[in-house]
Structure 1
Amino acid sequence: MPTVTLLLVAHGTRDPAGPAVVERIAAATGARLGIPTRVSYVDVIGPGVAEALEAMPGPVVALPAFLAAGYHVRCDLPEQIAATGRTDVAVCPPLGPAPELAAAMADRLRAAGWRPGDRVVFAAAGSSDERALADVRGAAALLARCCGQPLAPSYVTTARPRTEEVCVGERAFVAPYLLAPGLFHRRLTALPATVADPIGDHPAVIDLVARRVRTVVERTAA
């Protein structure tokens, strides 16, 4: 693969567990592809996208480490890249939805004790953006194929139904559509259910990031 630098772009959180996951994904992808990598954030913490790009040689492949194409993916990231004036930055689609994420979530469920036939509650962060919510519904459909049962999304905040509203009654396993630990995952663990770990730096995620990068590099080289 031609030499590029990968910029993995995440939302940003003050919880140190979030950046730690993003850094591990970037490092593992860099090792897989044999390319240099850096991490930046669109909000809350730094380095920001423009700051990171200042120190990066081109060409650059920017990959939004988001699970749906909401406002940050469609507006914030392109605007921040455009503000640098650089024309050698290619942007990948966001991480999700994707079959690799569903596979990772299914593995996290099994590690939490889930077995076929047990009820699964799909829990996403939530958004007011209908296009992002459509992506979440697509992600739930992908996990449903892995679990052998129909799944409709629930949300920790903003959108409905809320996970706390559907996570009642019979024993349930919560599948967090969350990349990293943090406030939303802590809220889920307070519910009367068994909550799987976030997706994290599962090997399938590294496969997905590597696939996204290769696709963009091949497209731009064509």
Structure 2
Amino acid sequence: MVPTMVLVADDSCDAHRREALRDLAEAVEGRGEAPVVPAFGPTSRVNDTVRAVEGPIAVVPAFVAGGDLASAEVFAGLDLDGRVDACPTPPLGAVPSIVAEMATRLHDAGWTRGDGVVLAADGANDQEERQEVTDVARILSRRLRSPVQVGYINGWAPTVADAVDRLRDTQGARVFVATWRLVGGAEVERLRELGATSVTPPLWPCELVVDTLLAQHRAAKARLAA
């Protein structure tokens, strides 16, 4: 039996995010590989949705590690006690193909060697997610063959604004912001107000995101079958 993919994210405070997440869920289901149930909203609503889905289920974060604090908190609050038919997967992290897509977007935006780069992450309460952000910056730096500074939107220092200002002041360089976020919304709009040379769009829409979420589902399916 093919497990149902339950996509989890917070969409409670942002209509644009809500629309983008639903588009993503439809795109994943459109591949025909697995039934998909969107579980979007605050923790209580997400738990109600998960409880209503008959197993087996693969519970897949619809966000990137360190890229969506609100969704990470919702995911951490999932109640899967007694659900032996449920397999949660980690959020997408330093996947080389996704980082390569970010590098392509920077080049498409006009980035060249000598320009500054800030990886804009949201922040998280989980040290593992913070390490994932560090790993993303390291892989992106290797692909660009240029330094990448991490900046945070919420919760941690340095902020994205501080990182952009520091690069502009110390290097006198153009500064590009690489958005480490799966879907758009108000937080991404805030990045565009910082005065950077360019801000790359969130990772979705991109078919690579669908590919990677389905790979998460396949891994969960294998664990459930073991």
TM-score (normalizing by structure 1): 0.85
Q: C-alpha distance in 2, partners of 1:29/1:118?
A: 36
Contact kept? 2:10, 2:74, Cα under 8 Å: no
TM-score (normalizing by structure 2): 0.83
Q: C-alpha distance in 2, partners of 1:17/1:99?
A: 28
Which segments of structure 1 move beyond 6 Å, counting only runs of 4 or more?
Answer: 69-75
The residue identity in structure 2 corresponding to 1:80 is L
Describe how 1:7-156 pairs up with structure 2 within 5 A: 7-41=6-40, 43=42, 48-68=45-65, 77=75, 79-82=77-80, 85-156=82-153
Describe how 1:162-201 pairs up with structure 2 within 5 A: 162-168=159-165, 169=168, 170-193=173-196, 194-201=198-205
The residue identity in structure 2 corresponding to 1:187 is R
Distance of aligned partners of 1:16 and 1:72 in 2 relative to their CA distance in 1, 3 Å threshold: closer
Q: Which string of whole-angstrom CA distances, capped at 9 and with x for unpartnered residues, describes residues 73-104 of structure 1?
A: 88753653325x43211111112232232123
Q: Which string of whole-angstrom CA distances, capped at 9 and with x for unpartnered residues, describes residues 138-176 of structure 1?
A: 121122233221323111222111111121322111101
Distance of aligned partners of 1:137 and 1:171 in 2 relative to their CA distance in 1, 3 Å threshold: same
**SS of alignment partner, residue 63 of structure 2:** coil
Distance of aligned partners of 1:119 and 1:26 in 2 relative to their CA distance in 1, 3 Å threshold: same
Amino-acid identity (%): 30
Q: For residue 71 of structure 1, report the CA deviation from its aligned partner.
A: 8.1
Q: In structure 2, list runs of 5 or more residues that go unmatched.
A: none
Q: Which string of whole-angstrom CA distances, capped at 9 and with x for unpartnered residues, describes residues 84-131 of structure 1?
A: x43211111112232232123223323323345532211111235433
Distance of aligned partners of 1:9 and 1:124 in 2 relative to their CA distance in 1, 3 Å threshold: same
Contact kept? 1:123, 1:154, Cα under 8 Å: yes
Q: Does 1:202 align with 2:202?
A: no
Q: C-alpha distance in 1, partners of 2:77/2:12?
A: 20
Distance of aligned partners of 1:190 and 1:72 in 2 relative to their CA distance in 1, 3 Å threshold: closer
Q: For residue 199 of structure 1, report the CA deviation from its aligned partner.
A: 1.3
RMSD: 2.6
Contact kept? 1:122, 1:140, Cα under 8 Å: yes
Contact kept? 2:9, 2:74, Cα under 8 Å: no
How many residue pairs align between the two structures? 218
